[in-house]
Amino acid sequence: MLTFKPVRDRPIAVKIGLAVAALVFLMLAVSLVNLYGLRGVVRAVDSASHSAEILASVNGATGRVENFIATRDQQSLSQAEGMVATAIAGLTAIPAAEAQSLKGSLERLTAAIAALRVATLTMDGETENMTAHYGRMREATILVEQGIADGLKGLDSRTVEHAARVSDIESAHRILDILRNGERIITANVAKILATGDGAAATAARNAGAALPPVVEQLREVMGAPQERENLDQLATAVAAASVALERLGEAPRVQGGEALRHLAAIEDVLERLDAMLGEMDRHVAHDASDIQAATGLLHNAAALSKRFAERVATLEAQTLSFRLSPSAEIAGSVGDILGELTRLSRVLPSAVGLQAEASPQTVSDQIAGYRAAFARFHQASTALSDARDQVRNEARSAGLLVARFAGQARSDAVVHNDRGMLATILAGTVAILLAGAIAWSTSRFVAQPIVALASVMRRLAAGDLNAEIASVGRGDEIGIMTRAVRVFQ
């Protein structure tokens, strides 16, 4: 059966070994506690270091995004995406619970950056569309202005032609009056010859007849239409025949006089027809004058409309540029108002102009509608860009706060582990001091003092005092053995 000896009966070497073993165990326990604390500090420092790296990546990504918003540099956005991806990859070095919440924030940040890219690409595409529509509207305006200028030039030519026509008609009226007066003079003189046989009247009739052919030629110069030429030919024939009859008045006054009167009647008939033609021409000229005046007014009105349209197109470009630089609801409303005015003006522009020879014709209204649709998409993308930018900032701020909190927690954990190590060291030192004191006291009490007492007994026995009391005889250790050996000398 297994029995345990009391401590006082164990050998002194065993007692000392047990005390040393206790000290060694205590030191080992302190080392284990310190090792655990050191590992905790290392983990906390590593977590804080990785948190700082993640925070640096997030801040760097935010800076790249801000640079992208300012410069539209796609490389900056790519760098921001790479930094966020690096931050997500670094989450494996921090505790799982913290990493999960931070991962959600970083994934939302990645989605916001992607939305930022999509919105920017949409805005760039719609900017190109708006530029194309603006160029076509501007080209249409130039073509309309050129058409108006050509129309005004044509009206100027038409006005000059009209003035010349009016002058010819007025000249023709005067010439007809001259011919009619000549015909009346000849008729009166012929009638006088037939009535009185006056030779002076015959001379006057001949002179008046001789003056008619040059006047007919003058009339031919100002009246050149085919129907007019036919009547002028008849007039010239009648004048020539009358002149021949007048030249022969001396040979047979009554016969030639009657012949002359017949030709003069034919001249009168032709003059009446020519006068009627001139009256019709007067009506046409008056109508042309009204047409020219109306067309001139319309073209000048069209020129004013075209000028206003061009001014509003230029203002549209300026307002769109302002919106691109600093989006606001006020500028967007101004762009919409300008587009509405352009739509109204396009309905009264002179014509729909084909903008590309190789493409199907497109009206100015089509370009305005296209610009309106492109601007609406640009406005929507701009709003999405603003929302994505705010989301990037918010998620970056949220991620930064999480990382800062994790880093703070890691620093707190490091301090706690360090404090625990220091406390364990202090406690172990205190226990070691107490244990050493206990060992020293026990050594003095149970080893040194019995040996000193035994030496005193031995001196008394040597002096012959055989009645000296010997203590510690019952101890089972080396002291007891020595005591029992000394007892033999009594």
Instruction: Sketch the domain layout of the chain as residue ranges.
Output: 17-119+379-438, 149-299
DSSP string, 177-220: HHHHHHHHHHHHHHHHHHHH--HHHHHHHHHHHHHHHHHHHHHH
CATH T-level topology, domain 149-299: de novo design (two linked rop proteins) (1.20.1440)
Tokens linked to 352 = 């729909």
pLDDT in tens, 304-363: 888 899 899 999 999 999 998 888 899 999 999 999 999 988 888 765 433 333 333 457
- Contact (CB, 8 A) for 365 and 346: yes
CA dihedral 273, 277, 280, 281 (to 10 degrees): -160
**List of residues 6+ apart from 190 with CB closer than 8 A:** 201, 205, 246, 249, 257, 260, 261, 264
Cα–Cα distances in angstroms (integers) from residue 67 to residues 63, 264, 329, 384, 393, in the given order: 6, 102, 24, 18, 13
Q: Is the dihedral of CA 56, 62, 63, 68 positive or negative?
A: positive
pLDDT at 334: 94
Q: Whole-angstrom Cα distance, residue 346 to residue 141?
A: 10
Percent of the chain with pLDDT over 70: 86
Query: Residue 51 burial (CB < 10 Å; 0-12/13-18/19+)?
Result: buried
Lowest mean pLDDT among 169-173, 191-195, 277-281: 191-195
Burial call 358-371: b when 16+ CB within 10 Å, e when fewer: eeeebbbebbbbbb
The 10 Å Cβ neighbour count of residue 272 is 12
Cα–Cα distances in angstroms (integers) from residue 132 to residues 13, 66, 129, 139, 479, in the given order: 104, 29, 5, 10, 115
pLDDT at 357: 35
- Of 111, 53, 40, which is closest to residue 83 (Cα–Cα)? 53
Tokens linked to 206 = 């001949």
Residue predicted with more confidence, 299 or 464: 299
pLDDT at 319: 94
pLDDT at 335: 93
Report whether pLDDT(140) > 90: no
- The rounded Cα 443 to chain-centroid distance in angstroms is 92
pLDDT at 312: 92
Report whether pLDDT(373) > 70: yes
**For the whole model, what pTM was predicted?**
0.60
Tokens linked to 28 = 């080992």
CATH of 17-119+379-438, picked from 1.20.120, 1.10.132, 1.10.700, 1.10.10, is 1.20.120
pLDDT at 374: 94
